Amino acid sequence: MTSSTLPLQDRFGRKVDYLRLSVTDRCDFRCVYCMAEDMQFLPRSEILSLEQLYEIARAFVALGVKKIRLTGGEPLVRNNILQLVENIARLDGLEQLHLTTNGARLDRFAKPLRAAGVTGINISLDSLQPARFRELTRVGDLGKVIGGIDAARDAGFKRLKLNAVVMKGRNDDEVLDLVDFARERQVDISFIEEMPLGQIDEHSRALSFCSSDELRQQIGQHYPLTASDESTGGPSRYYRMADSDTRIGFISPHSHNFCHLCNRVRLTVEGRLLLCLGNEHSADLKEIVDRFPGNQEKLQQAIVAAMDLKPERHHFDLNDAPQIVRFMNMTGG
Ligand code: SAM
Ligand code: SF4
């Protein structure tokens, strides 16, 4: 029996059918929760080529992965990203090819991404106030991002979702405005609890922590929320409002640990296969694709073997120094 006839499964019986593929660690924003102000990015020689990214995606799909999310860093700053999208979208057996983006380049990219085979887009949006948006992203232009969201709607994507990281005293007063924005645009929205990835000095993650339950109560006072058992294959728990198709999701790594349902792994652009967002367990796939170019069997063997490294759960603690030194842009959020 070849490895490709078996689904990927870890030691705890969890099936892995979702890959988050980071295509770059670079970004045109510097969000305060994601990066330090002054970031060192990887030299070109240390990152996977587009061909290698494709070979790895192909191996995962052969092993039963049904959903791939392209992320980063900012995936739309990677040169020739559309070529990679087209190739991955054609893989037999892949059901969903999604992308997470800061939205700043979507005005140009939305249509070509749809034509190339992307089936859903998540766009990060933490504030609807231009000055605050700039402060949180350090460089971002809110108008461009809203233009990008509208371009994605015009391009006809069925599934569009906004992602907002909420921080106490920074943007927690905008939660209802963000919900209203999502309702007007008829897109979904998820609120994310900030995770302690990488050392930042800009704010205290413990002091700015804002729990999903708090936000759910706040929203529920205006729009009664009904829990939904829908899943999009990711960590969001969804709620519905009676008078809108917009779904409200909560990603709560602290308050509602979702590890027992984890079906995903991440590949960094250096070719490190991370088995868990909150642990350093990893396997080096770059070494395999460098040494054995085009050898799918070796790659699939390494991926299957890596499943045994997947830890049971993460242990995030906002009061300690972060145990995970890699930033989210390196992790592939
Ligand atoms: N640049 C793209 C973007 O911003 O959507 C894709 C990569 S970004 C790392 C993916 C997601 O991770 C974004 O929604 C971002 O808000 C979220 N994120 C980044 N750092 C985070 C952190 N420390 N805790 C929680 N979410 C974080
Ligand atoms: Fe860039 Fe996304 Fe990180 Fe913001 S969250 S700095 S847009 S990678």
pLDDT tens figures, 29-61: 999 999 988 889 999 999 999 999 999 999 999
Nearest-angstrom CA–CA distance, 9 and 111:
36
Ligand 1 nearest-atom number relative to CA 253: 25
Give the phi and the psi of residue 100 in degrees, each rounded to 5: -110, 130
Per-domain boundaries in the chain: 3-331
Residue 177 in this model has a pLDDT that exceeds 80: yes
Number of C-beta neighbours around residue 155 at 10 A: 18
pLDDT tens figures, 249-293: 999 887 777 788 888 999 999 999 998 877 778 899 999 999 999
Best substitution site from 20, 23, 26, 31 to test ligand 2's pocket, by max atoms within 8 Å of Cβ? 31
CA 294 vs. chain centroid, Å, equals: 27
pLDDT tens figures, 186-205: 999 999 999 887 778 888 88
pTM of the model: 0.93
Would you state the pLDDT for residue 313? 80
Angle subtended at Cα 165 by Cα 160 and Cα 166, rounded to the nearest 5 degrees: 125
Least confident piece of the model among 219-223, 274-278, 306-310? 274-278
CATH number for the domain formed by residue range(s) 3-331: 3.20.20.70
Would you state the pLDDT for residue 316? 65
Would you state the pLDDT for residue 26? 96
Would you state the pLDDT for residue 65? 97
What do you get for the CA distance between the two ends of the chain, in Å? 34
Would you state the pLDDT for residue 321? 59
Split at pLDDT 50, 70, 90, the class of 1 is very low
Best substitution site from 71, 123, 137 to test ligand 2's pocket, by max atoms within 8 Å of Cβ? 137
Does 71 sit in the ligand 1 pocket, CB within 6 Å? Answer: yes
Does 133 sit in the ligand 2 pocket, CB within 6 Å? Answer: no
Angle subtended at Cα 333 by Cα 185 and Cα 323, rounded to the nearest 5 degrees: 140
User: What average pLDDT does this structure show over 3-15?
Assistant: 77
Best substitution site from 329, 330, 331 to test ligand 2's pocket, by max atoms within 8 Å of Cβ? 329
Split at pLDDT 50, 70, 90, the class of 324 is low
Does 322 sit in the ligand 1 pocket, CB within 6 Å? Answer: no
